[in-house]
Each structure stands twice: as structure tokens, then as C-alpha cells.
Amino acid sequence: KAGVTQTPRYLIKTRGQQVTLSCSPISGHRSVSWYQQTPGQGLQFLFEYFSETQRNKGNFPGRFSGRQFSNSRSEMNVSTLELGDSALYLCASSWTGLNYTFGSGTRLTVV
């Protein structure tokens, strides 16, 4: 079966711009989580959605937001980009909210 699909794979944006990343979970999975991975901070939890509801949110500023659609696909948005937002953004999906399958990520570079 198809895995978790994240688009785009790579993205270059300028400071101050906004960006939207997309995640298509494994068919039937209703839980989608997002993580930011950087060399300095490691893997940090952004938020988790289940059946279109945000159930949990990490310690990130309000510039980071997300949503989930009725087909479980999810998007995350970062507004007013800063250089420090450069990272690998990983999406993961789960049926149970426990065993997560990760996508390959979107590499965001802010210049």
C-alpha cells in the first residue's frame, strides 16, 4: 500500500514569505502528526490532528499552523518565514494514534 506522501520534497523561500506543506497519510489513517527536524534541536513535535481536529500542539509560535481535511490529508502553514525555520518537516500518520509511519519529509530552506 502507498506510504505517507509529502509534497514538495524541497522548497526554497525568502524571509517574510509564507509556505504551505502537504501530507497525504496512508489510506485509512485518521491521525496525522507533524515534526520539525533541525541539527540543533532534533525532532520537535508541532501538532497532531485526528478526524479534522487538532488534539495536541507543540511549543511553537502561532506562525505555525495546520489543518486536516475530511479525507485525512493535512497541510501545515508557516507564515512570515524566518531563517531559523529552515528544517526538514516530517509528517507521520497512524490508525491507532500510536504506531506512526513517517513520510520522507519536506526540506525547507529559508534564505
Partner 1 sequence: GNSVTQMEGPVTLSEEAFLTINCTYTATGYPSLFWYVQYPGEGLQLLLKATKADDKGSNKGFEATYRKETTSFHLEKGSVQVSDSAVYFCALSDQEGSSNTGKLIFGQGTTLQVKP
Binding stretches for partner 1 (CB under 8 A)? 4, 6, 31, 33, 35, 42-43, 45, 48, 50, 55-56, 58, 90, 92, 94, 97-105
The grid cell for 42 is: 532534533
Nearest by Cα to 89 from 100, 102, 72, 99: 102
Q: How far is the CB of 75 from partner 1 (least distance, A)?
A: 17
Q: How far is the CB of 23 from partner 1 (least distance, A)?
A: 11
Structure letter (DSSP) for residue 95: S
Q: How far is the CB of 37 from partner 1 (least distance, A)?
A: 9
Cα within 13 Å of Cα(85), Cβ side = 27
